[in-house]
Structure 1
């Protein structure tokens, strides 16, 4: 007993009746002390040394557990925010954008991701400058922040462009591949001239002489029926080269304008047969060389011609002078 009336016991003593299992392999330690099994914590972490390491890391100062360069990044971000706000408040940001482009584009160019080369393929009727202007591309942009889908949609809104593909080649090249609509003819409507595709799509205004030799159609809706006009040109055979334009009348039939100014009025149905008659008349009578303003082929059993004013007067004079047989007429 100690001075407080308590019995002294060894720290390693077991309570009465406690039966310690004795593994056959492990046995007992020196001095008869049993070998203790690893605790639950030791099993969880592999060893007591691992437990000690974890406890030390848990007690590590917070500045040692933060990611490296976090402070530098925060300081740089704060500095950039302050500078940007100061530029905006001072009205300098507009000047910066005007000289160097948008800040994010300028930053990307500074790290080597600028837009230094644009490769364009598939163009024959458009110029490279027209393509760049349509896409909205300029030297103050960067490759990193260009949206290829937006560029493709912009290009495909151009009537001349049928389809477009846009690809980025890092670090600084943009590749544009275009499929153009082929200029199919010239359409005159309400006094204006347009270049049209085969499906009648208006490609552009007729602004130069590049398309002067294309088939020429006139009238409302004639652009969408230009293939009919081309079929008439084929039916004209040897006279094709003398046809300068086709006018769609009331959306129903065609009138051809010849190179001498003569009009050839075709029927709504069987227009090719009427052209065959015209070819025959030209071969037999050289009708296109006569003083005729218009030839009407709309009736299958006859040809109606409209003479020029001079030819009409001459014909009238000739009829007056022509003797007439019958009563009361000198012979």
Structure 2
């Protein structure tokens, strides 16, 4: 009897060592109970061969992964959401293809500007300061600012750059004041002279920038310069006008010659040729000759002051003929005597 028990016991111990007994848990048992039951399995119950299972047995094929993803679409709500996204993408593509997006942008602005306005940041007010000759509408059109813009997405630097392209604008500042106000401060160029080149007359500022075409009589009283490069030397011309003193009102135009010097066209048709070096000193000489000899009132075509300490004049044709006739008797007397 004892021998039989020993044989049965050794068989039972050998079986238990190889195959651990897992407690049986009902299918409807709580998760905690099932977990606790599984935890009672001793570590030695796991066979060594099972601990080092081949990786190929756990790797899923491509078909299995595809079936798994398709199964995901079968979950409640996921398939409907995917279908909705698909139809939305198709609708958006058709909207863009048929020109609907372009029409929306043309009427309402870019999508980000629409979002900015909806969020409470439209451009409700634009304050413009410093303009006198430009209108607010001209400035807004040049700046590219309108009701379709939103304040957060408005590029203030780009707006300033566009304003600086307007010839009459000398400087510009653009400020955004949240939530809905835009401030534009500009400084206009002032008309300083008229510049004629190739038969066309433009209004130019002090720095020589053409700011407008001569369209009416508003600017006819401005100083007048002629020739290529004359606009770049406008400050020099204006300085010479100042040095001319009482003669300034008799200067009709300044003609820039060969990119080096000035000729003054006077109101009575006389041309005064100034030197390249020290034209101001030559004007002082002209003023003295006018005081002493009324040289500008003579019948002369031009007065040449280009050579220092020397004045050359050329008479008009009528004055030259009259002088020739006046000197003729003296010449005949000398030849007869």
Structure 1, residues 35-76: CA drift from partner, whole Å, max 9, x if none? Answer: xxxxxxxxxxxxxxxxxxxxxxxxxxxxxxxxxxxxxxx999
Residue ranges of structure 1 left out of the alignment (5+ in a row)? 6-73
1:226 to 230, 234, 241: 234
Aligned partner of 2:270 in structure 1 is 262
- Does 2:323 match 1:315? yes
- Give the superposed CA RMSD: 3.2
Aligned partner of 1:289 in structure 2 is 297
Structure 1, residues 240-272: CA drift from partner, whole Å, max 9, x if none? Answer: 111122112122221101112221111222322
Structure 1, residues 155-198: CA drift from partner, whole Å, max 9, x if none? Answer: 22334333322112233221111233343333323333333333
Q: Give how far 1:107 is off.
A: 4.1
Aligned partner of 2:186 in structure 1 is 178
1:131 to 134, 139, 147: 139
Residue ranges of structure 2 left out of the alignment (5+ in a row)? 1-8, 10-81
With the length of structure 1 as denominator, give the TM-score of the two structures: 0.67
Aligned partner of 1:119 in structure 2 is 127
In the alignment, the residues of structure 2 paired with residue 245 and residue 142 of structure 1 have an alpha-carbon distance, to the nearest angstrom, of 51
Aligned partner of 2:19 in structure 1 is none
Aligned partner of 2:312 in structure 1 is 304
Q: Secondary structure at the match of 2:232?
A: helix
Q: Give how far 1:149 is off.
A: 1.7
Aligned partner of 1:249 in structure 2 is 257
Q: Secondary structure at the match of 2:307?
A: coil
Choose 106-115 or 258-267, whichever is displaced more: 106-115
Choose 152-161 or 232-241, whichever is displaced more: 152-161
Q: Give how far 1:144 is off.
A: 3.1
Structure 1, residues 263-283: CA drift from partner, whole Å, max 9, x if none? Answer: 111122232232222222222
In the alignment, the residues of structure 2 paired with residue 319 and residue 79 of structure 1 have an alpha-carbon distance, to the nearest angstrom, of 108
**Pairing of 1:5-44 with structure 2 (within 5 A):** none
Higher helix share: 2
Q: Secondary structure at the match of 1:231?
A: helix
Query: Kindly tell me: are residues 279 and 76 of structure 1, through their superposed partners in 2, closer, same or farther at Cα, counting changes over 3 Å?
Result: farther
Query: Kindly tell me: are residues 311 and 272 of structure 1, through their superposed partners in 2, closer, same or farther at Cα, counting changes over 3 Å?
Result: same
The total of aligned residue pairs comes to: 259
